[in-house]
Amino acid sequence: MARREKVMRMSVELPLWRALTAYRVLTMLYAVGLFVAAYDDYDRPGVAVAYYVVLCGWTLATLPRVQNATACTKRFLAIDLAVALTGIVLTPLVVNDEHILAGGPTLPSIWTAGSVLAYAIKGGWRWAAFASTPVAVANLIERGHPARDTVHNVILVWVASIAIGYVVEVARASERTLARALEIEAATRERERLARDIHDSVLQVLAMVQRRGAVLGGEAAELGRMAGEQEVALRTLVSGGLLPVSRVSEDAAEGAVVRAVEETDEDDPDGPADLRPLLAPFAAARVSLAEPGAPVLLPPAAARELAAAVGAALDNVRRHAGEEARAWILVEDEPDAVIVTVRDDGPGIPEGRLAQAEGEGRLGVALSIRGRLRDLGGSAELISTPGQGTEVELTVPKDDAKRGKAGLR
């Protein structure tokens, strides 16, 4: 079993940068097309041609700058806005009066909105409001008077850019919240996995040392008492706080980043595993195992977790039903699920005992059995009648196990 770091990157902002890249190219072509269509309106077409050469060269050369927030620096934004403002201010110098009176477009036309939107995506609504203001002033200067259509267009750009900037801020906050939620989920799963492993090994040994020490007496009794204290402390730790298994989210240019540690199969992570060899070691003089003659195939991680849950059930039989209790393991390979039943002939579990045990931090059934099956997308049904033994039915849906095997670690 190997452990590797899994990196999950989330970004609702990245598509906005991609859309802005396409917008800048398309509006550049649109502005040039408007110039060609209204060529007769230009008194100084040479100046306009020179501006469009600069505009096209700048747009194409700076496409990498509008790929993400890191590349889109403040210096680039300032120069980009200056290119747009220069085109607006130059418009009255290169077109005739009829063009202006008719409400004709400025030299950069709607390409200007791309500069403002870059501010919005980079810095939010405040940056958008800052960039919209000089654009509004330049448009009013270009017209010479506050015409209705000019005011309408100015307000439209101002409101739209601020709205987009606000949406970007909300999206970033949502990303951070989602990233933190995923980290907490990953930490919780890791804590539960460790709790199951500890319950199946360390806690069982400490409990045995405590019992044997009390029986032997003397120095062994003191050793047993100390083991009992450590068992209580360890149970409290296991059932308590989260383990910091995933690092704090980062705000990266490509979006929020979540790093979590997960386990992988070094040999063949995708190949199925036969459940029967994993259950075979449980067979003993007082434990009978009945299984199909054909392999019972599950994803390796799912097979290991199911076998560990069976082991936890047998540990409970030995602890609560006694060493002389008999147990039976029945394996059923159904078309859509694998069902393993563990039954014993012990005294059964008194009503309410499981809830009391969980309250005391004894999480054998809650974590070692039900927790494992829950992670597999399955279920663990426990039926116990006082005086008639206990039966635990473990069900693992095959499809759910295949889809969720990466999350079982």
Q: What is the 3-state secondary structure (H, E, C) of the chain?
A: CEEEEEEEEECCCHHHHHHHHHHHHHHHHHHHHHHHHCHHHECCHHHHHHHHHHHHHHHHHCHHHHCCCCCCCHHHHHHHHHHHHHHHHHHHHHECHHHHHCCCCCCCCCHHHHHHHHHHHHHCHHHHHHHHHHHHHHHHHHHCCCCHHHHHHHHHHHHHHHHHHHHHHHHHHHHHHHHHHHHHHHHHHHHHHHHHHHHHCHHHHHHHHHHHHHHHCCHHHHHHHHHHHHHHHHHHHHCCCCCCCCEEEEEECCEEEEEEEEEECCCCCCCCEEHHHHHHHHCECCEEEECCCCCCEECHHHHHHHHHHHHHHHHHHHHHHCCCCCEEEEEEECCCEEEEEEEECCCCCCCCHHHHHHHCCCCHHHHHHHHHHHHCCCEEEEEECCCCCEEEEEEEEHHHHHHHHHHCC
Judged against a pLDDT cut of 90, whether residue 57 lies above it is answered with yes
Tokens 């147990």 locate to: 327
Cα first-last separation, the chain: 10
Claim: this prediction has a pTM higher than 0.75: no
The yes-or-no verdict on residue 293 having pLDDT over 60 is yes
Residues 299-303: what's their mean pLDDT? 90
Q: What is the pLDDT of residue 261?
A: 46
Mean model confidence pLDDT for the chain: 77
pLDDT higher than 50, residue 246: no
pLDDT at 1: 46
Which carries the bigger pLDDT value, residue 162 or residue 8?
A: 162
Indicate whether 394 pLDDT > 70: yes
Check whether 165 has a pLDDT greater than 50: yes
pLDDT of residue 156: 78
Q: Worst-scoring range by mean pLDDT, 146-155, 220-229, 392-401?
A: 146-155
Percent with pLDDT over 90 in the chain: 18
CB 14 within 8 A of CB 68: yes
pLDDT exceeds cutoff 50 at 121: yes
Exposure string over 218-238, b if 16+ CB within 10 A, otherwise e: eeeeeebeebbeebeebbeeb
Instruction: Sort strands 327-333 and 2-10 into parallel, antiparallel or unpaired.
Output: unpaired
Residue 408 has what pLDDT? 40
